[in-house]
Amino acid sequence: MEKAEIGLVGLGTMGSNLALNIAEKGHRIAVWNRTGARTSEFVAQAGPLADRIVPCATLEELMAAIEPPRPVILMVPAGRPVDEQLAVLGPLAGKGDILIDAGNANFHDTQRRTREAEGADYAFVGMGVSGGEEGARHGPSIMVGGDPASWHRIEKVILDIAAKYEGEPCAAWLGPDGAGHFVKTIHNGIEYADMQMIAETYGIMRDGLGMGAHEIGKVFEGWNRGRLNSYLIEITARVLATDDPQTGTPVVDLILDKAGQKGTGRWSAIEAQMLGVPATAIEAAVAARSLSAMKEEREAAARIYAPPAPQAVATAAADIVAELELALLAGKIAAYAQGFAVMQAASVEHGWNLPMATIARIWRAGCIIRSQFLGSIAAAFEAGGEIANLMVAPAFVEMMNQAHPALRISVGRAALWGLPVPALSSALAYFDGYRQARGTANLIQGQRDFFGAHGFERIDRSGPQHGPWA
Ligand code: NDP
């Protein structure tokens, strides 16, 4: 039988769609799933694509079905399942074979697995895939980390299956070992911040302006035709416009306000902290999901604390909504600036040499945060020169100058109305902190020296100093 070009382990939501995408692009693929019945069911449902799919009952059969050197994609839950599969596949792999973890791995695990592979015959590749089920089937954004030789071996298949933005594939090799998974993690961190800030503007419209789901949906639909145009704004409008068929109520009004999280947002916040890079909007978004999960405690606290007394509003609702659009733009600039700053710091720390413009370019289609806005980020990095922070790149200075006054007003209004806007307000505080030439850390340094003799620098003299504390 004709050998397959590539193998795939794990025919769940992502794996099955990725396998169909690979077959559809003309590549013969061998597949294996832990629960064998799923493999036959998958092939039975693959229609004409089944001709290019080789179902395998065992991992030995899978390896034998692929043309060496054999690339095998693992699409199983992150963590132990990946190690379990590597423990079985590793000994079956020969020289030049490539085992590719395409799940949402923690990049530290990817670095460890890369080191472990150095003592074995196979090469290990950590590949971040974004775009959910639909992306996996029709074109995800793909962030690859590993050795360049492995990348060249799999490049054709990966570029073929990736989303295309104006014909350009949204997939790239980003650096060695954990580079791909790290970038995917930060993608998700930015996604958390983006979603949270969208939810905060929804909250102001719902609870501050008393607007209904459909009315708010129309606002997002309008925003999607402007500078906020993005997949997340588009789906927000669609979610808000959808009614529950049984009750006729907007579905969003029936959904429990407890958000789930699987770890990538939290990892982004942890890595930002470890690198000493402020990523306050991402951190606030992670914390907001945690707070959302404390439903019973929130209900109890709501019985203790009444909301602030209603304020007289002089501004027309339409103007408040227009301000929110700009506020969201300003918050978004700050949040993306934070995500890219974390990646820049990690790139130096791990010696990855991450290509920032390429990252922005491969996020323009296929992934969850896809938007026009990423084209502006790519252009800012492509313009050359050292960009200390996206907020000071010329194109963003102009946007920020137009938008930050509205962010300030919206955050202030939300505070007076007693509506939580943690991501928007921390984005504003980050912006104000970043643009403040003389901050207040002089006092922190004084306090630290007072209680711990930690020393400080003076503005009028060089060298370490201590204060004349009594
Ligand atoms: P699913 O739960 O849909 O599928 C999991 C697959 O892994 C199944 O085929 C399952 O096999 C298999 N599996 C589970 N545990 C083991 C194990 N211990 N050994 C071998 N196989 C195992 O997950 P998804 O497809 O959603 O996710 C896969 C990966 O992709 C995860 O890392 C996820 O974070 C990531 N991801 C998911 C996205 C999404 O939108 N869903 C988006 C981007 C990345 P069985 O049929 O036997 O249970």
- The response to whether residue 14 sits with its C-beta less than 6 Å from ligand 1 reads yes
pLDDT at 119 over 90: no
Query: Is 15 part of any domain?
Result: yes
Q: What is the reported pLDDT for 210?
A: 95
Q: What DSSP assignment string belongs to 141-186?
A: EEEEES-HHHHHHHHHHHHHHS-EETTEESEEEEESTTHHHHHHHH
- Considering the candidates 5, 191, 200, 323, report the single residue annotated as catalytic: 191
In angstroms, what is the span from residue 76 Cα to ligand 1's centroid? 4
Query: Is 392 part of any domain?
Result: yes
Residues 110, 54 share a domain = yes
24 is catalytic: no
Rounded distance, CA 11 to CA 20, Å?
A: 10
Average confidence (pLDDT) over 353-378 = 96
In angstroms, what is the span from residue 127 Cα to ligand 1's centroid? 14
Query: Is 377 part of any domain?
Result: yes
Q: Whose CA is closest to atom 34 on ligand 1?
A: 104
- The response to whether residue 368 sits with its C-beta less than 6 Å from ligand 1 reads no
Residues 136, 217 share a domain = no
Q: Whose CA is closest to atom 1 on ligand 1?
A: 12
Torsional sign, CA 334, 228, 355, 350:
positive
Average confidence (pLDDT) over 198-212 = 97
pLDDT at 251 over 80: yes
Query: Is 42 part of any domain?
Result: yes
Average confidence (pLDDT) over 294-321 = 93
Mean pLDDT score across all residues of the chain:
97
pLDDT at 451 over 80: yes
- The response to whether residue 40 sits with its C-beta less than 6 Å from ligand 1 reads no
pLDDT at 71 over 90: yes
Percent share of the chain, pLDDT over 70: 100
- The response to whether residue 135 sits with its C-beta less than 6 Å from ligand 1 reads no
Rounded distance, CA 269 to CA 196, Å?
A: 14
In angstroms, what is the span from residue 343 Cα to ligand 1's centroid? 26
Query: Is 1 part of any domain?
Result: no
In angstroms, what is the span from residue 374 Cα to ligand 1's centroid? 29
Q: What is the reported pLDDT for 402?
A: 98
Average confidence (pLDDT) over 135-159 = 97
Rounded distance, CA 219 to CA 394, Å?
A: 29
pLDDT at 385 over 90: no
Query: Is 51 part of any domain?
Result: yes
Q: 268-285, pLDDT tens digit by residue?
A: 999 999 999 999 999 999
Q: Which residue has the tokens 């690979």?
A: 22
Q: Which residues contact 445 (CB under 8 A, 6 or more apart)?
A: 454, 456, 457
In angstroms, what is the span from residue 354 Cα to ligand 1's centroid? 28
Q: What is the reported pLDDT for 140?
A: 98
Average confidence (pLDDT) over 383-394 = 90
Query: Is 111 part of any domain?
Result: yes
Q: Exposed, middle or buried, 292 (CB in 10 Å: 0-12/13-18/19+)?
A: middle
pLDDT at 211 over 90: yes
191 is catalytic: yes
The one-character DSSP state at 231 is H
Average confidence (pLDDT) over 62-75 = 97
Query: The domain spanning residue 367 has which CATH number?
Result: 1.10.1040.10
Q: 405-439, pLDDT tens digit by residue?
A: 999 999 999 999 999 999 999 999 999 999 999 99
- The response to whether residue 132 sits with its C-beta less than 6 Å from ligand 1 reads yes
Say if CB 98 and CB 150 are below 8 A apart: yes
pLDDT at 310 over 90: no
Q: Which residue has the tokens 């890369």?
A: 114
Rounded distance, CA 90 to CA 121, Å?
A: 8
Residues 301, 420 share a domain = yes
Query: Is 239 part of any domain?
Result: yes
pLDDT at 384 over 80: no
The one-character DSSP state at 333 is H
The total domain count for the chain is 3
- Considering the candidates 134, 156, 166, 184, report the single residue annotated as catalytic: 184
Residues 463, 366 share a domain = no
Query: The domain spanning residue 461 has which CATH number?
Result: 1.20.5.320
Domain assignment of residue 330, given as a range: 185-434
